[in-house]
Amino acid sequence: FNLRTTLGLSASSPSPEKSLSLTEASSMSSQASLPATLPPHLVTVREEALKQLFGLWGISKPEEFKCGRASHGDLRCQNFRGSWDHLLNLNVSVVLELEGTEAAERFLCVERREEDLLWIRTASASLPVPLDQIRASWSGRAILAYRPLPTDKRALRPGISDPVMVEIRQQLGLSPATGDPNRFDETLRNRIQSFQRELGLRPDGLIGTLTLIGIEGHGSRTDVPKLVSTPIAERHDVHHP
């Protein structure tokens, strides 16, 4: 399969997975230094942008607009810093941080992509903005949301046996493993490495946070807000061994 063909992205070098802590948004705001290319009403404080992102995941209670409540079945957040293509390759709705301003109101929530348009989610509507216009104002930093797998392992490694591997294989469009269906076998390892190369991640064969986010973004689950909705299992160029 080819994610760059699906998403219309160019090739770029792999970047390692990182997990960074989140910082609280400042309560002060100023519209004076916002990027001139974007209408001010699309840009907001981090807390409001996260609220819109969490809403796309089906979370609507104010007390749940925080990351890291995975023990309650909610979301975790992953800070992202990298290239535009790598970010869009993950194919999930995202909060972008804009550059050129120290104001608290420098965040926006990207809901979906339609060709050269990005739809920005606000408290009152979803509005289309040219992709290049957003890219020109982006700082290179973003916040992603994901639901962690029901396992106590920080990263899933080839050779382990864990029930979550059944879901991973389903998301990637793979047939069940021979013998132990919970095993992270060589077939899955090869698929993960190929998938990581397409995402622009280091192809280490481990399922860490960014690889998991990419699997959620390209898999068959319907409860994951995606930039482009076509799952891996439905693409004509996917091989099913």
Give the position of tokens 């290179």: 140
Q: What angle do CA 129, 18, 194 make, to 5 degrees?
A: 80
Identify the residue with better confidence: 80 or 104: 80
Q: What is the reported pLDDT for 21?
A: 37
Q: What is the pLDDT of residue 105?
A: 86
What does the CA dihedral 233, 214, 230, 114 come to, rounded to 10 degrees? Answer: -170
SS3 26: coil
Confidence check: pLDDT of 69 > 70: no
Number of H helices, E strands in the chain: 7, 6
The pLDDT of residue 40 is: 84
- How sure is the predictor about 91, in pLDDT bands with cuts at 50, 70 and 90? very high
The per-residue pLDDT for range 120-135, each reduced to its tens digit, is 999 999 999 999 999 9
3-state secondary structure string, 146-186? Answer: ECCCCCCCCCECCCCECCHHHHHHHHCCCCCCCCCCCECCH
The total number of residues shown for the chain amounts to: 241
The two three-digit tokens of residue 232, written as one number: 């891996």
> What average pLDDT does the segment 106-122 reach?
95
Tokens of 139: 């700082």
Amino acid making up residue 6 = T
Each residue of 132-183: pLDDT tens digit?
999 999 999 999 999 888 888 888 999 999 999 999 999 988 988 888 999 9
Least confident of 172-176, 190-194, 233-237: 233-237
CA distance 164 to 64: 25
Structure confidence by residue, pLDDT tens digits, 20-37: 333 333 333 334 344 456
Beta-ladder partners of 142: 80, 96
Q: Give the whole-angstrom CA distance, residue 41 versus residue 104.
A: 14
Q: Which two tokens stand for residue 225?
A: 């807000």
Whole-model pTM: value is 0.79
164-171 vs 186-199: helix crossing angle, rounded to 10: 50
Which of 20, 3, 13, 230 minimizes the C-alpha distance to 143?
20
